[in-house]
Structure 1
Amino acid sequence: MEWYLKVIKNYTGFQGRARRKEYWMFALVNAIIGIVLSIIDAIFGITLLATLYYLAVLLPSLAVGARRLHDTGRSGWWLLICLIPLIGAIILIVFTCQDSQENENSYGPNPKAAAF
């Protein structure tokens, strides 16, 4: 939950780098909350809660995605590759699963090195 809240608090932070753990923990908690809200929506026959939630986390999701790509040495604009059906999502998953660049890159210092 700590990683999720860190991303939510830094919702406009498109600068810098995000570790794999930060990105994937946010994605996990985001998915769990989305599933729970979708189930609640289905029980009551509405689509309001999940829709409002996903709109609320759209900007933080884009920000952490861009920072994750920065950590692998890529521009945040690579998020647009998801617009290519199926192949784009697969490529983005591969990019986000890759390890950080070990040294400082043009987006900032390695957050892994700062954690030790």
Structure 2
Amino acid sequence: MSFGTAVSTCLKKYGTFNGRAKRSEFWFFYLFTVLVSGIPAGIGAGLVASGGSGGTSSVGAVIYGIAIVISLAFVIPTLAVGCRRLHDRGQSGWWQLLLLVP
């Protein structure tokens, strides 16, 4: 499965927790979410931390806020593809709840 196919499949199955997901589908979508939300978050945090003049810290805060909104939008499809991947391995999707344990 190619990168684009994996991303489009996961977005089409936004809230589908039934079924199975191939390994490539899971990892390509995970890479996509890291690139789409992680890179802007890092740039925004870097601009805020630099605290430079000229409003770069406020621009950084806006970029960081947008990255957080994007990350929140990907929570459900990430959990769904994770659940489908666990089903493919013959395990229950409920194992993802262990991620919530500190």
Q: TM-score range by the shorter chain?
A: 0.7 to 0.9
Task: Give the secondary-structure state (helix, strand or coil) at the position aligned to 1:45.
Answer: helix
Partner residue of 2:79 out of 53, 56, 62: 62
- Write the letter of the residue equivalent to 2:65: L
Number of equivalenced pairs: 85
Please, what TM-score do these two structures have when normalized by structure 2? Answer: 0.75
1:35 maps to 38
- Write the letter of the residue equivalent to 2:39: V
- Write the letter of the residue equivalent to 1:28: L
Please, what TM-score do these two structures have when normalized by structure 1? Answer: 0.67
Task: Give the secondary-structure state (helix, strand or coil) at the position aligned to 2:19.
Answer: coil
Pairwise CA RMSD of aligned residues?
Answer: 1.4
Larger Rg belongs to: 2
Q: Gapped runs of 5+ residues in structure 2?
A: 48-58
Q: Gapped runs of 5+ residues in structure 1?
A: 86-116
Q: More helix per residue: 1 or 2?
A: 2
How high is the sequence identity, in percent, across the aligned residues?
41
